Structure 1
Amino acid sequence: MVDSDANSAPSEFVPNTEISNSAFELASTLLPPPILYHSIRVYLYARSITPPDSSYISPAKQDILFTACILHDIGTVHKFDGAQRFEVEGADVAARHLRRFDVKEDDVHDTWVAIALHTSPGIAERIGDLARIVREAVLVDFGKKTSLGLPMTENDLQERRGELEEKYPRLGVEKILGDAVVEQAVRNPDKAPPASWPGILYRAHLSNPGWDGVNKAF
Structure 2
Amino acid sequence: MSDLSQKQGKEITLIADITAPDSNIARQAEELARRVSGDVLFNHVMRCYWFAELFAQQEGTKVDSELMFLSAVLHDLGLTEHARGPHRFEVEGAGAARSFLVEKGVSAGRAQNVWDNIALHTWDFNPFRGDTSRLMQLGLDYDVSGAQNAELDPADIAEVLRRYPRLQFKRAFNELLNREVDTKQPYHHWVHICTRVAHNRSPIPIVDATAVLDWAPFDE
| TM-score bucket of the superposed structures, by smaller chain | 0.7 to 0.9
Contact 1:119 1:135 in 2 (8 A): no
2: CA distance between counterparts of 1:21 and 1:131?
Answer: 20
| 2:161 is the alignment partner of 1:165 | yes
User: Aligned match of 2:33 in 27, 30, 35?
Assistant: 27
Distance in 2, matches of 1:26 and 1:190, equals: 30
Separation in structure 1 between the aligned mates of residue 100 and residue 155 of structure 2, nearest angstrom? 34
Q: Report how many aligned residue pairs link the two structures.
A: 183
Distance (Å, rounded) in 1 between the aligned partners of 2:111 and 2:162: 33
Q: CA deviation at 1:204?
A: 6.7
1:2-151 counterparts in 2 under 5 A? 11-12=12-13, 15-50=21-56, 51-56=59-64, 62-121=65-124, 123-142=125-144, 144-146=146-148
The match for 1:195 among 180, 191, 207 is 191
Cα distance, 1:79 vs structure 2:
2.6
State the distance in 2 between where 1:157 and 1:195 align.
Answer: 36
Matched with 2:176 is 180
When Rg is computed on C-alpha atoms for both structures, the one with the higher figure is: 2
- In structure 2, how many angstroms separate the alpha carbons of the residues matched to 1:160 and 1:86? 30
Give 5+ residue unaligned stretches, structure 1.
1-9, 57-61, 197-202, 206-213
Q: How far, CA to CA, are the matches of 1:158 and 1:143 in structure 2? A: 17
Alignment RMSD: 2.6
* SS of structure 1 residue aligned to 2:153: helix
* Matched position secondary structure for 2:166: coil
Aligned-pair CA distance for 1:84: 1.0
- How far the C-alpha of 1:95 sits from its partner, in A, is 0.7
Identity of aligned residues (%): 23
How far apart are residue 143 of structure 1 and its match? 5.2
Contact map agreement 1:83 1:191 (CA 8 A) in 2: no
Match of 1:33, as an amino acid?
Answer: D
Q: Which runs of 5+ in 2 are unaligned?
A: 1-10, 15-19, 193-205, 214-220
Q: Which letter maps to 1:41?
A: R
Structure-2 separation of matches of 1:191 and 1:171? 28
Q: Is the contact between residue 110 and residue 128 of structure 1 (CA under 8 Å) also seen in structure 2? A: no
The one of 202, 211, 215 aligned to 2:210 = 215
From the two aligned structures, give the one with the greater strand fraction.
2
**Given the two structures, how large is their TM-score scaled by the length of structure 2?**
0.72
CA distance in 1 between counterparts of 2:134 and 2:187 reads 24
Q: For the residues of structure 1 that align with 2:207 and 2:52, how far apart are their CA atoms?
A: 30
| 1:38-97 Cα deviation digits (max 9, x unpaired) | 1111111122222544342xxxxx332211111111110123111111111111111112
Is the CA contact 2:67–2:114 (under 8 Å) kept in the aligned structure 1? Answer: yes
Q: 2:203 aligns to what?
A: none
Distance 1:204 1:78, change over 3 A: farther
